[in-house]
Amino acid sequence: MKKLCVNVDHIATIREARKTNEPDPVHAAVLAELGGADGITIHLREDRRHIQDRDLRLMREIVKTKLNLEMAATGEMAGIALDVKPDQVSLVPEKREEVTTEGGLDVLGQHGYLAGVVKKLQGAGIPVSLFIDPDPRHVKAAKETGAVSIEINTGKYSEAKAERGIVEELEKIKQAAFQAASLGLRVYAGHGLTYKNISSILTVAEVEEFNIGHNIVARASMVGMETAVREMVRVIQSGNRAN
């Protein structure tokens, strides 16, 4: 059964727009769990543009499902993760000038360094996932770092407009997922997924879990977080039954 992790970063984005105390992403996480989320994802960025250290620490106490911490592979962030001990760390690339994550990790170019961070975190009992593009070279390199899972970047698939582009990107995802599973990696997927475009990704047998944030938060602004999550859970469950 494919699972859903809800990213509540953009609840914090709304809060930080006014530098006030609401809406609270911790409250949103609780509502997401009530709506059927299998986990909560947050990205603690170096510039603290949305999620704050306080949010992470409170969520560690309150989240009852899986707490997945997205973070850059820096010494500061590794130290925070080792202190807070989330249920999972997802290493992602990070640039201050980007609006959102623009692509997967350069696992080939940073292989030795990433392997060191993975070893440190997993040595402390924190499973590590690497956010990568659906590229066979990066899948192989991800395995060699010692990480236990990958999250396939579905950004290009989500942004594709023409049918040909959608089909091509979906095929890359399918091949990367098959390769990763064959190597013994657990496979997750996320970035730009919506209530509509997730249907094709649901057909990828190896994908166990989705990380979805912006589209759910956008829907939640209209119908509430619990309802928005329930709607996405129903979409995923329908795909589970179909496959």
Contacts 24+ apart (CB under 8 A), 146-149: 146/115, 146/118, 146/119, 146/122, 147/91, 147/118, 147/122, 147/185, 148/122, 148/185, 148/186, 149/185, 149/186, 149/187, 149/188
Residue type, 106: D
4 DSSP β-pair partners: 210
How many Å separate Cα 157 from the centre of its chain? 16
Pick from 201, 232, 200: which is nearest to 216 by CA? 232
Residues 185 and 148 sit within 8 Å (Cβ to Cβ)? yes
Pick from 79, 86, 83: which is nearest to 63 by CA? 86
Catalytic residue numbers read: 43, 70, 191
Helix (H) and strand (E) counts for the chain? 11, 8
